[in-house]
Amino acid sequence: MNITAQCEHFSREKFVFQGNELLYRFAKPLDYNDEESQKYPLILFLHGAGERGNDNKLQLTHIDKVFCTDEFREKYPCFIIIPQCPEENRWVEVDWNLPSHIQPEKMSSPMKLTVSLLYSTMMHYNIDTQRIYVLGLSMGGYGTWDLITRFPYLFAAAVPVCGGGDETKASKIVDVPVWAFHGAIDKVVPVERTRNMINAIKQNGGTPKYTEYPDLGHLCWNEAFATDELWQWLFSQSK
């Protein structure tokens, strides 16, 4: 695996809360100064199933050519948190092969730690709490849907890619700007998982954005993340 050299500038961190540990990578805006008063947005990125582990590196696999470039960091100054889910866990403990699922009553252990990490980071840095964004692909797409339905007041925007959520919770996120992506010929996560979430939000009065790639499968995030239109939209969102 080739992770770009810039990603090595993302600090390797370990968050410990109530005896549990979560590995994560962390980046501050370029030239950030703790003494300055300017506040910056924050991106929380949730990786897919293949990037689980305990090396604090694999979770950068599909996002390094975006977040880790000097061009992105100069154009969109922000904090970035990229936690790593342990191999034996999921961001949301549900079966990905099901046509639908009911949101578990409790968050998974790594997701609980991620939320605690997010709030801790917000307390210790100059973060614009009106511009907290969450993105995720595949397993992380499930995590993205799960987080915004549990904490709709927290996130200014969300980008779930080839994931799925609990459609019965759609009424909670009608006011959360969402841009979802999915490949129409996805053989890993059925495209209906995203279609159904988008339709449920619309039926409850929301106006989410949705891009479906007719000729792409599961790896549609490469196309989604390659367009600057997405990032322009994301960073324009504020609560």
Tens digits of residue pLDDT in 68-86: 998 999 999 999 999 999 9
Q: Which domains does the chain have, with CATH numbers?
A: 5-235 (3.40.50.1820)
Structure tokens at 111: 């997701």
pLDDT at 34: 81
**pLDDT band at residue 36 under the 50/70/90 scheme:** confident
Cα 32 off chain centre by: 23
Q: What is the pLDDT of residues 84-134, one digit of tens each?
A: 999 999 999 999 889 999 999 999 999 999 999 999 999 999 999 999 999
Q: What is the largest CA-CA distance in the chain?
A: 50
Mean pLDDT of the chain: 95
**pLDDT, tens only, 145-203:** 999 999 999 999 999 999 999 999 999 999 999 999 999 999 999 999 999 999 999 99
Confidence of residue 228 (pLDDT cuts 50, 70, 90): very high
How far is Cα of residue 151 from the mean position of the Cα atoms in its chain?
Answer: 13
CA 187 to mean position of chain CA atoms: 21
pLDDT at 2: 61
Angle between helical axes of 109-124 and 139-150 (0-180°, round to 10): 60
Q: According to the model, what pLDDT value does residue 9 have?
A: 78
pTM score of the predicted model: 0.96
pLDDT over 70 (residue 1): no
